[in-house]
């Protein structure tokens, strides 16, 4: 049985030992030297960093994405989350529904629209989000103490939910902490309801969150942007 078999039913799966220690050290060094906009939480649109794009397009991660989505899967967006004692935050229960798109077009079911660092975004319908998977590469050990991702298993099958629906599910479904060692990958569907708490320790919890799409055009001519 594959480590990925549970993603169809549960919406997530942990694949340990995917990225090597040397590769992580090199990636962190190059990201640290990169001339990119940074926020308190990390780096948005990290596919612009060559080292990140190289990891995202590497055989190991692309192989995982294609096992889930099919042979055409490719990376289109990357975000570096850098949670530490000095940059600490919590994230309430939510789904990831906004996608970066090459151009703005008014299409039923898409929106509202926004612009982030020059890239157009729209909240997408479930039919498009079902063509996406996120691979979270753990650059540090993810433990119960450093604010790991928490998920509500199976909620990725329920479509795009309202805040009220999400709150109701959080009171009914037992949450699962997604713990992974350094170099491990958490594969997750964007529609799974998830959250994270503040870290309770000094050590960092850095995660490279890379999103893959089944194909570039998701719906009615709307094409994902490389971000």
- Average per-residue pLDDT for the chain: 93
Residues 46-52 have a mean pLDDT of 96
Mark 143-174 as b/e (b = at least 16 C-beta within 10 Å). beebbbbbbbbebbebebbeeeebeebbeeee
Whether 133 shows a pLDDT value over 80: the answer reads: yes
> Which CATH number does 7-223 carry?
2.60.120.620
Q: What digits encode the pLDDT tens for the residues 157-211?
A: 999 999 999 999 999 999 999 999 999 999 999 999 999 988 888 788 899 999 9
Whether 3 shows a pLDDT value over 80: the answer reads: no
Looking at residue 90, what is its pLDDT? 82
pTM for the model: 0.95
CA angle 133, 99, 134 (to 5 degrees): 20
The full set of domain ranges for the chain reads 7-223
Q: What digits encode the pLDDT tens for the residues 54-85?
A: 999 999 999 999 999 999 999 999 999 988 76
What confidence tier does 5 reach under pLDDT thresholds 50, 70, 90? confident
Looking at residue 1, what is its pLDDT? 36
Whether 12 shows a pLDDT value over 60: the answer reads: yes
């Amino acid at each position: 049985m594959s480590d990925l078999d549970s993603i169809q039913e549960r919406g997530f799966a942990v694949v340990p030992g995917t990225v090597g220690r040397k590769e992580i050290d090199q990636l962190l060094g190059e990201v640290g030297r990169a001339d990119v906009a940074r926020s308190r939480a990390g780096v948005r649109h990290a596919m612009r960093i060559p080292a990140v794009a190289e990891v995202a397009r590497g055989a190991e991660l692309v192989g995982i994405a294609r096992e889930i989505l099919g042979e055409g899967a490719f990376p289109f967006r990357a975000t570096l989350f850098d949670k530490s004692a000095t940059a600490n935050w919590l994230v309430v229960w939510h789904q990831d529904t906004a996608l970066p798109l090459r151009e703005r077009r008014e299409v039923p079911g898409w929106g509202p629209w926004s612009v982030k660092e020059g890239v157009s975004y729209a909240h997408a319908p479930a039919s498009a989000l079902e063509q996406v998977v996120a691979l979270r590469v753990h650059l540090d050990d993810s433990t119960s103490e450093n604010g790991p991702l928490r998920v509500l298993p199976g909620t990725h099958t329920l479509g795009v939910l309202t805040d009220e629906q999400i709150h109701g599910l959080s009171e009914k479904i037992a949450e699962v902490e997604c713990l992974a060692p350094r170099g491990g990958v958490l594969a997750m569907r964007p529609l799974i309801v998830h959250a994270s708490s503040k870290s309770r320790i000094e050590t960092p919890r850095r995660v490279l969150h890379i999103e893959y799409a089944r194909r570039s055009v998701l719906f009615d001519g709307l094409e994902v942007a490389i971000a």
